[in-house]
Amino acid sequence: MTENAKCLPSPPLSELPACEDREWSRMAIGILQGDGRRSADTHLVKPVFKGLRGISIYLKDESTHPTGSLKHRLARSLFLYGICNGQIREGTTLVEASSGSTAVSEAYFAHLLDLPFIAVMPHSTSRQKVDAIEHFGGRCHFVDSPAEVYTVAERLAAKKGGHYLDQFTFAERATDWRGNNNIAKSIFEQMKAEVHPEPEWVVMNAGTGGTSATIGRYIRYRNLSTRLCVVDVEHSAFYASYASGDRNVTCSTPSRIEGVGRPRVEPSFIPGIIDHMIKIPDAASIAAMHVLSDRLFRRVGGSTGTNFYGLCWIAASMMREGREGSLVSLICDNGDRYAATYYNPDWLEKNRIDISPYREMLETFIDTGEFRTADAA
């Protein structure tokens, strides 16, 4: 036996102290699991669009989580992931890079666990999201461009001796994609009694890429024939990267659709599980948001408009081919967060966004089935 291979001396196991902070993490996990247990599943709503003969549309309403968006699930997962990895402990300062929604949900969980929280976000983040973060006791640190959020958040966390939650890296792995009540499992369980229980397509936008990663992996894991279409927005690196296979693509103009479209290809974006990708103008996303809000009698957010335009685009292709079936997408958040922007005609004019041609086209489509222009990439 060499010197290196000898057993090192160790005190009796009974004398070893328990892992530092074990009591705190036990309490913290109990609180996070309690939040999950108190939450009901989100609705899978089925609006009727009389022009879409043979096509059933379903929208999973993630706006009804306690913090108002699909990011409630991710925030809970990121906290559990950090605690179980020993990175989040009693008193740890948490820092996140966000366009707003994730930070709102993380501020809520930080408040539940009595942890300091700092959100690093672009100046353009909606006032309602900033107010919600501050309401939960979080602090907001603003930067000029979305591309700066990563390094500033990392630096701030290091300076505070805290933990950078880093949703853009960890979204795809913090969520248990095989099941454990994730969004994909919930969708497919809720579809079971429908006429077409296995959707032809699930349509999803991309911010971190984490939700599409969970859905795409689950589809494969369960051997389903459903396909996944990801819809990218005007100012974003994802589509060009998907088309070229180059993960180093960047986009210097900030996305105007909050929550989706990124300046770089995020580590959580997994192209291998995507069956098809389209890229659409911001005017199309915002027009679709208005049309869907009118038909649901309540406001949805801009990224939900991105999803709805993608759904219509896929539905039109299926109808042209004479196919029938179901399509599923998400209501990502509530439109009241965007009263000052997408729902404000002055903001639209200032940003030179004319939604009327898309609005008319989508209304005609859902009422008659006639899809006049198909200008997605």
Tell me the number of residues near ligand PLP by CB under 6 A: 19
d(CA 275, CA 242): 11
Closest residue to bound ligand PLP by CB: 259
CA distances (Å), origin 192, targets 51, 56, 103, 182, 349: 25, 14, 33, 16, 44
CA atoms within 13 A on the CB side of 327: 28
Find the shortest distance in angstroms from Cβ 16 to ligand PLP.
41
d(CA 94, CA 162): 6
Nearest Cα residue to 186 out of 44, 359, 363: 44
Find the shortest distance in angstroms from Cβ 354 to ligand PLP.
23
By beta-carbon proximity to ligand PLP, the closer residue of 211 and 226 is 211
Contact 50, 60 (CB under 8 A): no
Partners of residue 231 on adjacent β-strands: 205, 278
Question: Tokens for 96?
Answer: 């996140």
Find the shortest distance in angstroms from Cβ 352 to ligand PLP.
23
What b-and-e string marks burial along 105-135, b requiring 16 or more CB atoms within 10 Å of the CB? bbbbbbebbebebbbbbbebbbebbbebbee
Task: Please name the amino acid found at residue 263.
Answer: P
Find the shortest distance in angstroms from Cβ 260 to ligand PLP.
5
d(CA 260, CA 206): 5
By beta-carbon proximity to ligand PLP, the closer residue of 160 and 247 is 247
Find the shortest distance in angstroms from Cβ 253 to ligand PLP.
18
By beta-carbon proximity to ligand PLP, the closer residue of 96 and 200 is 96
Burial class (CB in 10 A: 0-12, 13-18, 19+), 141: middle
d(CA 211, CA 209): 6
Q: For residues 202-221, which are near ligand PLP according to CB under 6 A?
A: 205-211
Find the shortest distance in angstroms from Cβ 216 to ligand PLP.
11
By beta-carbon proximity to ligand PLP, the closer residue of 71 and 76 is 71
d(CA 218, CA 196): 18
Find the shortest distance in angstroms from Cβ 92 to ligand PLP.
22
- The answer to the question of residue 71 lying near ligand PLP (CB under 6 A) is yes
- The answer to the question of residue 230 lying near ligand PLP (CB under 6 A) is no
Q: For residues 314-373, which are near ligand PLP according to CB under 6 A?
A: 332-333
Find the shortest distance in angstroms from Cβ 80 to ligand PLP.
17
d(CA 32, CA 26): 10
Stretch that binds ligand PLP, among 98-106, 140-148, 284-292, 366-374 (CB under 6 A): 98-106
Contact 221, 325 (CB under 8 A): no
Among 259, 261, 263, 305, binds ligand PLP (CB under 6 A): 259
d(CA 332, CA 343): 16
Among 301, 305, 310, 335, binds ligand PLP (CB under 6 A): 301
By beta-carbon proximity to ligand PLP, the closer residue of 266 and 319 is 266
Among 67, 77, 303, 334, binds ligand PLP (CB under 6 A): 303
Stretch that binds ligand PLP, among 49-57, 111-119, 201-209, 339-347 (CB under 6 A): 201-209
Q: For ligand PLP, what does the binding mask look like between residues 161 and 200, x meaning CB under 6 A?
A: ----------x-----------------------------
By beta-carbon proximity to ligand PLP, the closer residue of 93 and 125 is 125
Nearest Cα residue to 117 out of 66, 82, 68: 82
Find the shortest distance in angstroms from Cβ 129 to ligand PLP.
9
Burial class (CB in 10 A: 0-12, 13-18, 19+), 148: middle
Among 77, 93, 101, 182, binds ligand PLP (CB under 6 A): 101
Find the shortest distance in angstroms from Cβ 302 to ligand PLP.
8
Provide the binding-site residues for ligand PLP, judged by CB under 6 A: 69, 71, 99, 101-102, 171, 205-211, 259-260, 301, 303, 332-333
